[in-house]
Amino acid sequence: MNLLEVRALSVAIGAARPVDGVAFDLAPGETFALLGESGCGKSLTALALMRLLPAAARIAGGSVRFAGEELCVLPEARMRDVRGGRIGMIFQEPGTSLNPVMTIGAQIGEALRVHGGSAGRERVVELLAAVGIPDAARRAGEYPFQLSGGMKQRAMIAMALAGEPELLIADEPTTALDVTIQAQVLDLLRDLQRQRGMALLLITHDLGIVARMADRIGVMYAGQLVEVAPRAAFFAAPMHPYSRRLFAALPDAAARGQRLVTIPGSVPPLGTQFPGCRFVARCGDAMPVCRREPPPWRTPADGHAVRCHLEAAPAAALSAPGAAPEEKLGAGTAAQLEVRGLQVYFPIRRGVLRRTVGHVRAVDGVDLRLAAGRTLALVGESGCGKTTVGKAILGLLPPTGGGVAFAGAPQRGLAPARMQMVFQDPFNSLNPRLRVGAIVAEGNPAADVAALLEQVGLSADMAGRYPHEFSGGQRQRIAIARALAVRPPLLICDEPTSALDVSVQAQILNLLTDLQARLGLAYLFITHNIAVVDYLAHEVAVMYLGRIVERGTVAEVLRDPRHPYTQALLAAVPRLDGRRERVQVAGDPPSPADPPPGCHFHPRCPRAQARCRTAYPESVAFSATHAVSCFFAA
């Protein structure tokens, strides 16, 4: 018998249907993943199950049966017992899901009381210990600001467990977390699920997480499920053209040197009318019938259902038109950008007189070398100082020590014509009050705006429009055009694709490789996404707590990692084949205001020994390019 049966569930916001006829089952102890890009309705589906929809939205039809009980008609008072009791929920942003003025213990105690459990302190500590919070008794008395992001998410999970739920809904539970912490939280969820026999409804946009966690998968697009399949079948042979393109759009080492498959356009806006298939406008396999009739559900294999007119998926693998331009090997071996011993300290001021009592060592002696026309990836988790490195090289932040040399000449302050930056958040990187033409011409009023827009794949007539009319991917193109207007030989890209959906990310990555081949640009690519590094970069530098711990070519660092941190980082990335490597690294990164003595990584390192606690290891060279800062690298 199924624990949860959702039938023809629809959510209405005005006349629009952001969720339209969603149906799936969930058995006890099973993990079902709802997979989709932003705006496809997966979070609204979860909120509709809990009857927690925002005020503007309402359930327009369908049924939700939970353990044989119809939730849609349950009175609000009874529904409250279900919420947090029999169904628990955890949200994306642990920082805003906890009340900042209550201790963790008090918040969990409250959840326990509401659901009739004993709210004793022992029970709270027991729950905190169950979610892997060390020193649970002390942590129970602490406030959310004293906990790291990963700890907060664990505390949220403990709260969700307080009601002994039969079903746990996790809405992007690890999106806000770093990859090593993500691996820990995912392992925790999996262990808890196994121990308690909970069903898990996992909502995510990340194929890697799906491969690691899910038993069955539902792919959502524009408010509908388009494909439902068991994990093995889905990853072996996705049926729906959308699913197939999602896989092909993922960057990885195999795609290196080729253009990525992209899904043209973007997710249709809310309120679009669909006479036929919802994906038809972006589908490469569209037939005339796709425009006229909504596709029916077909079940080509047992348990594998797909909503598509195509009888059988084309056997040929998807490939993008036109191979990527040849890599010009040997292009520019002389260093164009050279960074030596770069330090950026932020003073910590206290007291009335604002005296400096210490420093946050955001960047603490970083050396980098980047040749013209090449890509250097700077990899690290949030808070390791990689963005600060970018800003200091650009001249937006004054360095505390060390220096930057460009084409052999030392450089101080801003150098607009030499290097430019592309920022992470496309929604904050364009002034909403200016037209696109004015934005692009910002740094160079004499720039040919039309040519620049066409260079980044936009049409020239978009110059007269305002940023809010564009999607995230288009905005990122505008930001690239603005940077290119001053013809810089070097672009610093600060996580340019991390705010974008997979299909749009592929478009931007293609654009960046094209521009590099055509204009001979060098990229300093700041990212935490290993797959993108594998696809795009020539060289890699891994950063931990303000210092580079390992550097080398992509093949050297990613295939043969020598530093324990690099190894842990690579092991933590969820893999599409679902293979799990147990992550050896525990805990959270320490604060750069108070780095541990000796090697910064030793408190989390499985190989740490006495001398790691006293001395910072010198960089050891393995080849002309490969260097590692670890005593045990050999």
Q: Which residues bind another protein (CB under 8 A)?
A: 391, 394-396, 414, 416, 420-421, 423-425, 428-434, 439, 442-444, 466, 479, 482-483, 486
Q: 37 to each of 59, 182, 206, 393, how far by Cα in Å?
A: 22, 19, 9, 34
Q: Whole-angstrom Cα distance, residue 527 to residue 516?
A: 18
The total of other beta-carbon atoms located within 10 Å of residue 622's CB is 15
Report the nearest approach of another protein to the CB of residue 341 (Å): 23
What's the DSSP call for residue 83? B
Please identify, using beta-carbon distances, which residue of 249 and 479 lies nearer to another protein: 479
| Closest to 201 in 3D by CA, of 2, 33, 23, 29 | 33
Which residues are 12's β-sheet partners?
58
In three-state form (DSSP H/G/I as H, E/B as E, the rest C), the secondary structure along 279-312 is CHHHCCCCCHHHHHCCCCEEEEECCEEEECCCCC
Kind plus residue range of the DSSP H or E element containing 205 = none
Report the nearest approach of another protein to the CB of residue 72 (Å): 29
Report the nearest approach of another protein to the CB of residue 369 (Å): 22
Q: Residue 308: CB partners within 8 Å, gap ≥ 6?
A: 226, 239, 240, 241, 277, 295, 298
Report the nearest approach of another protein to the CB of residue 164 (Å): 38
Report the nearest approach of another protein to the CB of residue 627 (Å): 30
Q: Whole-angstrom Cα distance, residue 443 to residue 437?
A: 12
Please identify, using beta-carbon distances, which residue of 259 and 418 lies nearer to another protein: 418
Report the nearest approach of another protein to the CB of residue 400 (Å): 17
Q: Whole-angstrom Cα distance, residue 496 to residue 301?
A: 39
Please identify, using beta-carbon distances, which residue of 44 and 599 lies nearer to another protein: 44
Please identify, using beta-carbon distances, which residue of 155 and 440 lies nearer to another protein: 440
Kind plus residue range of the DSSP H or E element containing 159 = helix 149-161
Q: Whole-angstrom Cα distance, residue 504 to residue 475?
A: 11
Q: Residue 126: CB partners within 8 Å, gap ≥ 6?
A: 136
Report the nearest approach of another protein to the CB of residue 425 (Å): 6
Report the nearest approach of another protein to the CB of residue 483 (Å): 8
Which residues are 232's β-sheet partners?
none
Please identify, using beta-carbon distances, which residue of 287 and 417 lies nearer to another protein: 417
Please identify, using beta-carbon distances, which residue of 121 and 349 lies nearer to another protein: 349
Q: 442 to each of 228, 470, 515, how far by Cα in Å?
A: 48, 19, 20
Q: Phi then psi for 275, rounded to 5 degrees?
A: -75, -35
Please identify, using beta-carbon distances, which residue of 272 and 428 lies nearer to another protein: 428
Please identify, using beta-carbon distances, which residue of 444 and 553 lies nearer to another protein: 444
Joined tokens for residue 565: 């941190």
List of E strands, 91-133: none
The answer to whether the Cα torsion of 481, 486, 489, 493 is positive or negative is negative
Q: Phi then psi for 592, rounded to 5 degrees?
A: -70, -10
| Span between the terminal Cα atoms of the chain, in Å | 55
Q: Whole-angstrom Cα distance, residue 211 to residue 232?
A: 9
Please identify, using beta-carbon distances, which residue of 68 and 432 lies nearer to another protein: 432
Please identify, using beta-carbon distances, which residue of 297 and 427 lies nearer to another protein: 427
Report the nearest approach of another protein to the CB of residue 468 (Å): 8
Report the nearest approach of another protein to the CB of residue 239 (Å): 36
Report the nearest approach of another protein to the CB of residue 354 (Å): 9
Distance of CA 238 to the CA centre of its chain: 22
Q: Whole-angstrom Cα distance, residue 427 to residue 541?
A: 28
| Closest to 183 in 3D by CA, of 586, 581, 572 | 572
Contact 133, 139 (CB under 8 A): yes
Please identify, using beta-carbon distances, which residue of 416 and 596 lies nearer to another protein: 416
Report the nearest approach of another protein to the CB of residue 51 (Å): 25
Secondary structure class of 266 (helix, strand, coil): coil
Report the nearest approach of another protein to the CB of residue 420 (Å): 6
Please identify, using beta-carbon distances, which residue of 277 and 440 lies nearer to another protein: 440
What's the DSSP call for residue 584? -
Please identify, using beta-carbon distances, which residue of 206 and 494 lies nearer to another protein: 494
